[in-house]
Amino acid sequence: MRDWVEVRRGAYHDSVTLMRVSRSLSERPGVAGAMVAMGTELNREIVEGMGFEVPAGAGPDDLVVAIRVAGAAGGGELDAAREALDGLLRDASRPPAGAGLLGAAVPARTTGSAAARADATVALLSVPGPHVFPEAMDALDAGLNVMIFSDNVPLGQEIALKEAAARRGLIVMGPDCGTAVIGGAGLGFANAVRPGPVGIVAASGTGAQQLMCLLDAAGVGVGHVLGVGGRDLSPEVSGRSALSALAALDADPGTELIVLVSKPPAPQVADLIREAARRLDTPVVFALPMPGEDDITQAAEKALRALGRPVPRWPRWAAERRPEPGSGQALRGLFAGGTLRDEAEMIARGALGWDLEARGAEAPGHRFTDFGDDAYTRGRAHPMIDPTLRLEAVREAASDPGVGVLLLDVVLGYGAEPDPAASLAPAIAEAVKDRPDLAVAVSLCGTPADPQGRDRQAAALCGAGADVFASNAEATRHALATVEGTPE
């Protein structure tokens, strides 16, 4: 093997572009491994974990390139890979065809100037979090509602943006708003669902996706999903965008029912939101991953009953294999969706009798990880786009004889990985081949109309040895029953 590592100072590229470049290089003949990423602490650890030596001084504003080729001398593979790298990065930076040519329209240089040319009502911003504030203010000054996909935005800036939006009669969706649907048009990570009478206020992207997919499976559509960001129901932000979103949906004549889905909110903010909901003309259902509250599946069922619709049996797909008896007793939850992780842990805590106030202290063998958390996405694409970290965690968990059950989520839709089963199914198949006693349950969030094809994904995951569920809550309860030795 031959390794080559280079640091390119101040050469910024977005994480999705770099993920695609890394994948293209890794698939080249003679290349045994490759990673191209910004030099964040997490990315440097990953590169070093692959066996490369990262030069000292590489920082988050620098591009780290690591390529490993087969053979002692590497032949011409390394030179070819380096040439391909430069071409891939050059293509990614190339302006659109015709830009800058004589007579062609000059590209807009600010969000405000772009808004002046378009008949738009929403600006979607996805730039590094520390730099999003002036762009968002520019959009608000141009009269646009703002969806901020970026994470790692300072808390004080989030509050200032939401206060500025309220003064202008606008809404800031985010920061860290991964999902929205406006008049049937999906923004960010969104599923292909039918239009309908339900409006969703979401302080959770994957929570909103799970809800809209369950409603779609029951034949009920969604008109709008207004994401507000995972911190909106924190004590500091105090539901500023959630309150505006509730009022906007209440004023929408096409919305017959509102569902609010969130990561665990601050209790005082939850009370504030409930009081505001009581004053609305439109009924509101809550889905909050907290003790004593409805999980997302239960909230979907409550919404269906409120609309006078029947509650279906939620789709599930059973694997042909049955795990052999084993000694592993730990449940390992490896999630791409933060709210799906929170919901699974809440259900597990209630079922296994853990101390609900002592997070993790009562179950040292059980673990629930959200790979979409900010700690894992600095300088990297979200795990719904780049599954690398979670695939490594699957292999690590499967090699632990104390782990008896793996609980995973797969979230489909626009913006997500085009074929998640293509990488996850082989990892599951390898895990259960080495561990015949290992059980695997997958929560599959998607619809038949999604570009990845929900049923095709389910078939691939089942074929690899996993039991697959459309409901994250049902997947979690199945995993718990398996841990306790009472599988359905």
List residues bridging with 439 in a β-sheet.
405
pLDDT at res. 380: 67
For the chain, how far is it from start to end, CA to CA, in angstroms?
Answer: 48
In angstroms, what CA-CA distances link 279 with 40, 273, 287?
47, 10, 19
Of 158, 29, 138, 121, the residue nearest 84 (C-alpha) = 29
List residues bridging with 259 in a β-sheet.
200, 285
pLDDT at res. 96: 53
Residue ranges of domains in the chain, CATH in brackets? 2-93 (3.30.70.60), 111-306 (3.40.50.261), 316-483 (3.40.50.261)
pLDDT at res. 75: 62
CA atoms within 13 A on the CB side of 59: 4
The residue ranges of DSSP E strands in 75-164, in sequence order, are 122-125, 145-148
> Considering the entire predicted model, what is its pTM?
0.83
* 374 burial via Cβ count (<10 Å: 0-12, 13-18, 19+): middle
Residue type, 372: G
List residues bridging with 147 in a β-sheet.
124, 173
The residues, ordered by sequence, that sit 6+ positions from 457 with a Cβ below 8 Å of its Cβ are: 410, 412, 419, 420, 421, 444, 446
pLDDT at res. 414: 92
pLDDT tens for the chain, 488 residues long, are: 789 999 999 888 877 788 888 888 888 888 888 899 888 887 888 888 888 999 988 988 899 999 999 865 556 888 899 999 999 988 876 665 544 444 446 777 788 888 888 888 999 998 878 889 999 999 999 999 999 988 889 999 999 999 999 999 999 999 989 899 998 889 989 999 999 999 999 999 999 999 999 999 999 999 999 999 999 999 999 999 999 999 999 999 999 999 999 988 999 999 999 999 999 999 999 998 888 899 999 999 999 999 999 999 999 999 999 999 887 889 999 999 889 999 999 999 887 765 534 444 345 578 999 998 877 776 667 788 888 889 999 999 999 999 999 999 999 999 888 999 999 999 999 999 999 999 999 999 999 999 999 999 999 999 999 999 999 999 999 999 998 877 66
pLDDT at res. 378: 66
The residues, ordered by sequence, that sit 6+ positions from 481 with a Cβ below 8 Å of its Cβ are: 487, 488
* 32 burial via Cβ count (<10 Å: 0-12, 13-18, 19+): middle
* Spatial distance between the Cα atoms of 151 and 128, rounded to a whole number of angstroms: 8
pLDDT at res. 237: 97
pLDDT at res. 286: 97
In angstroms, what CA-CA distances link 425 with 262, 448, 460?
30, 19, 6
Cα–chain-centroid distance for residue 322?
30
Residue type, 301: E
Look at the alpha carbons of 216, 448, 343, 475 in this order and tell me if their dihedral is positive or negative. Answer: positive
In angstroms, what CA-CA distances link 37 with 80, 89, 161, 353, 374?
19, 12, 30, 42, 16
Contact 130, 153 (CB under 8 A): yes
